Amino acid sequence: MFRKSTILIVLLIVSQQLLAQEVSFKTTVSKDRLGLNERLRITFSINKQGSDDFTPPNFRNFKVLAGPMQSTNFSYGNGKQSFEQSYTYTIQPIKKGVFKIPSATIKYDGNIIKTNTVKIRVTGAVEIPKDPNDPRYIASQNIHLVAEISNTNPYVGESISVVYKIYVDVNKVSVRNTREVESPSFNGFWNQNIEVKRWEAKEGSFQGRSHRYAIIKKTVLIPQKAGKLIIDPMEIEISAGVPIGRRDLFGNMISNNTTLTLTTGKRVINAKPLPIENKPANFSGAVGDYDFKVTSSKTELKANESTQIKVAVSGKGNLKLVGLPGIETPNGLERYEPENKENIVTTLGGLRGSIYDQYTVVPQFRGKFKIPPVSFSYFSLEDKEYKTITSNAIIINVPQGKIPTQVDNVTTGIVKRNVISNAKDIRYISTTANLKPIKNKEDFLGSNLFYTLLVLPLLSIPLGIFIGMTKKKRDSDIVGNRRRKADKLAKKYLSEAKKQLNNNEQFYIALEKALHNYLKAKLQVETTDISKEKISTLLQKRNVDTNTINDFIKVLDDCDYARYTPTTNVMMQQEYDKARIVIAKIDKQL
Same domain as 83, residue 41: yes
Full domain range(s) for residue 513: 478-589
Q: Is residue 423 part of a domain?
A: no
CATH number at residue 24: 2.60.40.10
Triad 174, 177, 181: Cα angle to 5°: 125
Same domain as 252, residue 215: yes
Same domain as 164, residue 115: no
Is the pLDDT confidence value at 376 over 90? Answer: yes
The confidence band for 443, taking pLDDT boundaries of 50, 70 and 90, is: low
CATH number at residue 328: 2.60.40
Is the pLDDT confidence value at 21 over 70? Answer: no
Same domain as 252, residue 144: yes
Least confident of 340-344, 483-487, 572-576: 483-487
Q: Give the model's pLDDT for residue 258.
A: 81
Same domain as 326, residue 240: no
Q: What percent of the chain has pLDDT over 90?
A: 22
* Final residue in a domain of this structure, among 398, 424, 444: 398
Same domain as 542, residue 491: yes
Average pLDDT of the chain, as a whole number = 79
Q: Is residue 228 part of a domain?
A: yes
Taking a C-beta distance cutoff of 8 angstroms, is the pair 158, 381 a contact?
yes
Same domain as 502, residue 564: yes
CATH number at residue 508: 1.20.120
* Final residue in a domain of this structure, among 343, 364, 398: 398
Same domain as 258, residue 322: no
Q: Is residue 435 part of a domain?
A: no
Q: Is residue 102 part of a domain?
A: yes
Same domain as 293, residue 185: no
CA distances from 213 to 16, 182, 248, 495 (A): 62, 20, 28, 77
Taking a C-beta distance cutoff of 8 angstroms, is the pair 94, 63 a contact?
yes
Q: Give the model's pLDDT for residue 353.
A: 93
Same domain as 79, residue 38: yes
Question: Average pLDDT, stretch 537-557?
Answer: 79
Backbone phi and psi for residue 192, each to the nearest 5 degrees, phi listed first: -150, 130
9 compared with 447, residue with greater pLDDT? 447
Q: Is residue 427 part of a domain?
A: no
Count of alpha carbons within 13 Å of 294, Cβ hemisphere only? 20
Backbone phi and psi for residue 283, each to the nearest 5 degrees, phi listed first: -70, 130
Q: Give the model's pLDDT for residue 407.
A: 46
Question: Average pLDDT, stretch 286-296?
Answer: 93
Q: Give the model's pLDDT for residue 99.
A: 92
Is the pLDDT confidence value at 480 over 90? Answer: no
Can you give the pTM of this predicted structure? 0.52
Q: 579: closest CA among 564, 565, 566, 562?
A: 562
Tally of domains within the chain: 4
Question: Average pLDDT, stretch 435-461?
Answer: 69
Is the pLDDT confidence value at 528 over 60? Answer: no
The tens digit of pLDDT for each residue in 59-76 reads 888 888 777 888 887 776
The confidence band for 484, taking pLDDT boundaries of 50, 70 and 90, is: low
Q: What percent of the chain has pLDDT over 70?
A: 76
Is the pLDDT confidence value at 425 over 60? Answer: no
Is the pLDDT confidence value at 284 over 50? Answer: yes
Instruction: For the chain, report the end-to-end CA distance as a whole number of angstroms.
Output: 101
Is the pLDDT confidence value at 410 over 60? Answer: no
Question: Average pLDDT, stretch 136-146?
Answer: 86
Same domain as 378, residue 497: no
Q: Give the model's pLDDT for residue 160.
A: 93
d(CA 481, CA 474): 7
Three-state secondary-structure class, residue 518 = helix
Q: Is residue 437 part of a domain?
A: no
Taking a C-beta distance cutoff of 8 angstroms, is the pair 157, 283 a contact?
no
Count of alpha carbons within 13 Å of 345, Cβ hemisphere only? 6
Question: Average pLDDT, stretch 351-378?
Answer: 90
The tens digit of pLDDT for each residue in 221-257 reads 999 999 999 998 888 888 888 876 666 666 566 677 8
Q: 587: closest CA among 533, 495, 497, 579?
A: 579
Q: Is residue 453 part of a domain?
A: no
Q: Is residue 110 part of a domain?
A: yes
Backbone phi and psi for residue 513, each to the nearest 5 degrees, phi listed first: -65, -40
* Final residue in a domain of this structure, among 333, 365, 398: 398
d(CA 480, CA 466): 20
Report CA 186 to chain centroid distance, whole Å. 19
Same domain as 536, residue 565: yes
